[in-house]
Structures are given as C-alpha cells and as structure tokens.
A and B are shown apart, each in its own frame.
Chain A
Amino acid sequence: MSRTSPSRRGLLFGSAAVSAGALLTACTSNEPKQQAQPAGGTPAAADKPGQAVTIGFAGPQADHGWLNAINQNAKSRAATYPDVTLEITEGSNDTAAQIGQVQTLINKKVDVLVILPADGKALTQVGLQAMRAGIPVVNLDRVFASPQAYRCWIGGDNYGMGLNAGTYIGEQLKDKPNAKVVELAGLDNLELTRQRSQGFDDALKNYPNITKVARQAADFTVESGQAKMAQLLQAQPAFDALWKIDDDQGDGAVRAIAQAGRDDFLMVGGAGAKSAMDAIKAGTGVLKATVLYPPTMAASAIDLARALGQGKGVGGLAELEIPSSLTLYSAVVTKENVDDYLPTGFN
C-alpha cells in the first residue's frame, strides 16, 4: 500500500519523462489486426543499436482490452529494436503459474526481466529471486511489495486519473450552481478503484458548487457497465456530469444511456480505448473526454529494459542511470488533442 507513494514523487518524473520525449511514449498503432508496426515513434534511450539484449516478458492473461494492448505494445516495441530479443511467456492470472514462468525466464538467463504481475504482492518473492540472480527487473504497473524486488518500476497513476477526471469535470461545471456529478466506478475489491475514486473526490472538493450525488461500482465488464448505468440513470433523473472509470465497462454504459434516451449531461471516460477516442473525436455523443491509463507503458518498459541491459540512461534526462520509479501522467484526452492520442487507443 505504501508502495503507491512513489506516485506523488513519480508524477514529477513521469511528466518530465513523458514530455521529455515522444522518446518514451512513442506509440504503437493498434489497428484492428494489431500487427502494425509502431507509427513513427522515435526509438528511445539510445538511438543506435547497441549490444544484444534478451528481455523476458511475463504478464497476466490478456483477457480484456487494456491488458491485450499491453502485450501488443511490448511486442511491437521490441520488434523495432534489432538488438532486442523478446522472450514472452504465455499470460496467466494464476500466481503459481506466473511464478513458474518467471523462474523459467530466470533459468534461461535472460538479460532483463519485465514483469506485469497478476498480483504484485504475490510475485514479490520471484522478483527478489531474479534480482539476486543478477537479472534487473522492470516492474510494470502492479507494484511488488518490496523495492528490492525491482530495479525500476513504471506504471500508471490511478489517483491521478481520478484527480484529472475530477478537475476536468470541475472546470466544465464551475459556473453551474448546484451541479450534480455521478460516478460509475470499477471493481470495489481492487485498490486501484479506490485510488481512482479518491482522486476524483479530492478534485471535486475544489469546486464547492459540485456534489457527487451517486456512485455505483461495476466490475470492468461491458455487461455490468450496462446494468449499473441503467440503474444510475433511473436513480438520477437529472445530473450534469458522469465519470465512467473504465472504457471497457463504459461501452456498456454508453448502451444504457442510449437505451434510456438520455443526453443531458457530459461524460468523461477512463483508460483510453480507441472506441472512446473515436467517440470523443466525433463529438456527437455525451462522451467529451477520457483520462488515460496508457498501455504504452509496456513499450516504455521495453525501452527501460533495453537501456538497463545496455547500461544506458534515459535520453532527455541528466541522470546517468534510469530512475527507480516512473509514474505516467494520466492525460485528459479531449476533442482538441484527441488526434495526438488516437494512435495509442486500444481495442
């Protein structure tokens, strides 16, 4: 839990690193077929091919859009480097299975490991094992319980997501007296849901004219998004803004809104699915913005792993070593800047 604190500090790093470059965030175009090469992003860290690096990648089962995009980003990023060989394991949500996979990668003596744990705490031991075996670990998104278990952590900012979504909504509604806001949250069992909601609430506190009148938690599926949103619409005959915490379940929410024939509010999404960005670009529906939880972090993790393997720092920063923690910025995508982010949208 305390491991979320790097986020605050990391925000600085994150925004610095991100703005310091299309370098790190160079994007992959997730066209429907998903096989496209990254769309013209500048390769990171060091530009010239260096010594050959074998990167082992272990992630959870890609059973929804965002995780799927993580895998694609990692693969296509690795493919842009002639000096990188990617050893990718079959994704698994089972802790024991994932531990086994990481151990296999350790035995294969890969140069660097990138691990997105199904459960961060449960994979800590195997992260430690790898580090002790002299293999630097890039911990992706879900953080290990001990900083000793990774050389570098890179991930999204759940609190920042809520904060930015709340601030965006606040700015839109700041001149409206007694504005009402509704939140369609994700799985309440997950800490990330609580962090997002906390950030959202904290942001709304800056706008005394705004009240959050309702919050319901769906479970990140389209189906549950539809069901919970239909109930929320029934419960709240009039409100001004809605934050749907996740674009996947947001697709269901969009259906519920269409089925109820409502369009009297503005909606902000979360995560950054391509369908959401398309809708923002079209600008005809209630969806006006979405806050990112960028899956490009997997591409950046490959960049970091390569830099670690070749003993380089990150381009654009004065540091000789890569940072130990990088929290990515949850940008707000609106109609104005959607074209910049559209290539990072996932299916």
Chain B
Amino acid sequence: MTQPASAARKDAPTSAATPDTGRKGTRRPALVRWDVRSLSLLGVLVALVVVGGVTQPDSFLATSNLQLVLTQASVIGVVTVGMTFVITSGGIDLSVGAIVALASVWATTVATQEFGFAGILFTAVLVGVGCGLVNGLLIAYGGMVPFIATLAMLASARGLALQITDGRTQMVTVTEVLDLGVKDAYVLGVPPLVLVFAAVTVVGWLLLNRTTFGRRTVAVGGNAEAARLAGIDVRRQRLYLYLLSGLCCGIAAFLLIVLAGSGQNTNGNLYELDAIAAAIIGGTLLSGGRGTIVGSVLGVLIFTTITNIFALNNLETAVQQIAKGAIIVAAVLVQRRTLRGGDA
C-alpha cells in the first residue's frame, strides 16, 4: 500500500518523463515531458500563426490582432486554469459555463449595479465561489460523483440565471466596468483582461507546480486512496479544488461582463467542453494525476487563434467547424508523435 502511495506522490507534478516509466516512479529531470508536450503544442501554434500570416498578412500580424486574440482567449482561459486543477485531481467540472452565466447575470442586475464597479466584481466572484462551494461539498462530503454533482449544478445555475434575467439581456451601465474593455485602458498596449488572464495563469502555475497544494492535487488525482493513506485530507483537497474552479468562473464572468457589456443567461455556452478540450489537448490527463497549466493555456490559445484565422479569412461556419475538428485531431496526433519520438 505504501509503495503506490509514495510513487503517486513523488510522481506528482515535477517528475517523470513518460507515461510508462512515470508510473513506476522512475525519476527524470523535472521539466522534460512538459517541454516536449508544450513544445509540440507551441509548434502547432506557430504553424497556425504562419497560416494566418500567409493568408492575411495585414490584418493577422497586426498588434491589434494579437491584442484581440489574447482578449478573446482570456475569459475561457481563466476558466480553463480552474478546470485544469479539477481534472488533474481526477474530477470534472461540467458546471463552469453555467456558473459563468449565473455569476455574470447576478452581477449585472439593477440592484447589483447600484454598487458600481466593486459591487459587480464582488458579486461575480462571490457567486462563482458559492457555486464552487456547493459543488465541492456535494462531491467531497456528499459522496456524489463529480460528473453528476456538477451536471446538477449546470442545470440549476442555468435555470437560476434564466429566472433572474427572465430571458432579457442585462446591459451594464457602470462606465468604469465598460471602460476596462476599450483601448484607453490598455496598460503599455496590454488589455486589462489579458493582464488578469496572465496573472491567473502565473498564480495557477505556481500553485500547481511549486506548492504543497499542487502536489496534493496531483496525488489525489493519481491515486486518491494512496493519497489518503499518505496523510492527505482528500476530501478537503477536493472541496478546495471545486472552490478554486468556482473562483476562476467568477473571475471569468467579470471579464465577460467587461467584454460583452452585459449579463445574459446564455453566456458561457458550452464553456465546459471548450475548457475540458483545451486542458486535455494541453496534456492534462482526463483520468487525473497529471496536469499542466502551460499546456492548457496553449490549448486555449490554439482554439482562439483558429477561430481568429477563420474569421479573418471570412470562412463559412460549416467550413470552420469541419476544419476546427480536423485541427484538433491533428494537434493531438502531432503531440503524441512528438512524445513518442522524445521517448525513443
């Protein structure tokens, strides 16, 4: 019993080169696998940039387009960072889109807007954390399967969002919030939304790779029973993880409010799938035990860049969807191939 426990723990975030040897506890230089994975993703991203640059040299390679892509990536990016933690721990959070919707709606009601910028921000974050808390309690202490618990949250949160809005779009009238999205608010050319995204990414990376919290997350995902025997409070860890995901959703909801200038119950539609897909493409293991923030962020950037290139080239929706599917498959295949090459 103690053998797998220690293996899982050591295996954790910083170790192990390959899926095979990693499980057996062979230690390799910390960042090897990460680099190979992330580099292959970076390669895909670079390839996309080349495609974009060749097809639309003027509009794609402009600074304004870089700002645009990063801004569009920031909302789903923040959600994906939270999702990465949950998946790394062997869980899943299907409710992220619904939480974003609920938080964005709750934070933009007439009553909330009376409290101005701080009221909106505070409400969005609080609603996110609150939903995360419910998720966490149900899963960690209620013994519910994450899939079901968060599916229930998805339904309820969307329902509540619909009830609050009554199907209407709630326009934001607080100018301080709207002003965050315009060019004047850019800090040295960087949109504030992108700064938030960057900050969340850095904090997420540190948390996952440089703290006990991160190691515990990986340990729980690798083998929960072993983690428990090794003295980790698995339940509390799970609670914290869904709280974290909820927090990220709250932050993302605020970013979305700035971006769309409104709260709507249709917000965050299918974010759960986008976030899960980005994390998995990035190299986080769906079964848990391995997670990479860098990979997830690259995954998000790849998605956003694809959408951007399609739009700039004025492709039809049907073509966009077909190509998007193909590119996802290609990205994963390239990654696997690179990995195998790296191992051999």
Name A residues whose Cβ lies closer than 8 Å to a Cβ of B.
34, 61-65, 67-68, 188, 213-217, 219-228, 230-232, 234-235, 237, 248, 251-252, 254-255, 258-261, 273, 275, 347
Interface size in chain B (residues, C-beta < 8 A): 39
Min CB distance B293 to A, Å, is 24
Residues of chain A lying within 8 A (CB to CB) of residue B168: 64-65, 68, 347
Q: A219-B269, A221-B267 are in contact. Are A68 and B166 (CB under 8 A)?
A: yes
Q: Is the CB of A261 within 8 A of B59?
A: no
Of B125-133, B309-317, B327-335, the one with at least 4 CB within 8 A of chain A: B309-317
Apart from A234-B308, A275-B169, what 6 extra A-B contacts exist at CB < 8 Å? A62-B167, A234-B62, A251-B171, A251-B261, A258-B261, A259-B182
- CB-CB under 8 A from B265, the residues of chain A are 63
Q: Mark B159-170, 1 if CB is under 8 A from A, else 0.
A: 000100011110
Across the interface, do A215 and B314 meet the contact criterion of CB distance under 8 Å? yes
Q: Judge whether A223 and B256 touch: CB under 8 Å.
A: yes
B183 at the interface (CB under 8 A from A): yes
Residue B198, interface by CB 8 Å: no
Q: Decide if B318 is an interface residue (CB 8 Å cutoff).
A: yes
Residues in chain A near residue B261, CB distance under 8 A: 222, 226, 251-252, 254-255, 258
How far is it, in angstroms, between the C-alpha of A259 and the C-alpha of B59 when the chains are bound?
Answer: 17
**Is B269 a contact of A223 with CB atoms below 8 Å?**
yes
Asked if B237 is at the interface of the complex by the 8 Å CB criterion, the answer is no
Contact B167 A234 (CB under 8 A): no
The A-B contact count (CB < 8 A) is 119
23 contacts between A and B (CB under 8 A): A63-B162, A65-B167, A188-B316, A215-B314, A216-B311, A221-B264, A221-B269, A222-B264, A222-B267, A223-B260, A223-B264, A223-B269, A225-B260, A226-B261, A227-B307, A228-B311, A234-B65, A234-B68, A234-B311, A234-B312, A252-B262, A258-B181, A258-B261
Contact B162 A231 (CB under 8 A): no
List residues of chain B with CB under 8 Å of any chain A CB.
56, 58-59, 62, 64-65, 68, 71-72, 162, 166-169, 171, 178, 181-183, 256, 259-262, 264-269, 307-308, 311-314, 316-318
Once bound together, how far apart are the Cα atoms of A213 and B59, in whole Å? 14
Select A261's contact among B58, B162, B183, B314, beta carbons within 8 Å: B183
Given A68-B168, A223-B266: A255 in contact with B318 (beta carbons within 8 A): no
Secondary structure call for the A interface: helix
Please measure, in the bound complex, the distance between the C-alpha atom of A223 and the C-alpha atom of B76, giving whole angstroms. Answer: 12
8 Å CB contact of B169 from A214, A216, A248: A248
Q: Could you tell me the distance between the alpha carbons of A188 and B71 in the complex, rounded to whole angstroms?
A: 25
Q: How many angstroms between the C-alpha atoms of A62 and B163 in the bound complex?
A: 10
Assembly CA distance A212 to B266 (angstroms) = 29
Q: Which residues of B contact A225 (CB under 8 A)?
A: 260
Find chain B residues with CB under 8 A from A64 CB: 167-169, 264, 266
A255 touches B259 (CB 8 A): yes
A321 vs B169: C-alpha distance when bound (angstroms):
40
Q: Nearest Cβ distance between residue A275 and chain B, in whole angstroms?
A: 6
Nearest chain-B residue to A32 (Cβ)? B110
Instruction: Find out whether the CB atom of A258 lies under 8 angstroms from the CB atom of B72.
Output: no
Q: 4 tightest A-B contacts by CB? A: A231-B311, A68-B167, A255-B261, A188-B317
State the Cβ distance, A85 to closest chain B Cβ, in Å: 24
Which of B72, B167, B178, B268 sits near A63, CB closer than 8 Å? B167
A214 to B315 Cα, complex, angstroms: 9
The answer for the CA separation of A273 and B171 in the assembled complex, in Å, is 12
CB distance from B316 to the nearest CB of A (A): 7
Residues in B with CB closer than 8 Å to A255 are: 178, 181, 259-262
A-chain residues with CB within 8 Å of residue B260 when the two chains form the complex:
222-223, 225-226, 251-252, 255
How many whole Å from A187's CB to the nearest CB in chain B?
8
> Which partner residue on chain A sits nearest B308 by CB separation?
A231
B-side contacts of A234, CB under 8 Å: 59, 62, 64-65, 68, 308, 311-312
Q: Choose among A67, A68, A214, A222 the residue that contacts B314 (Cβ–Cβ < 8 A).
A: A214
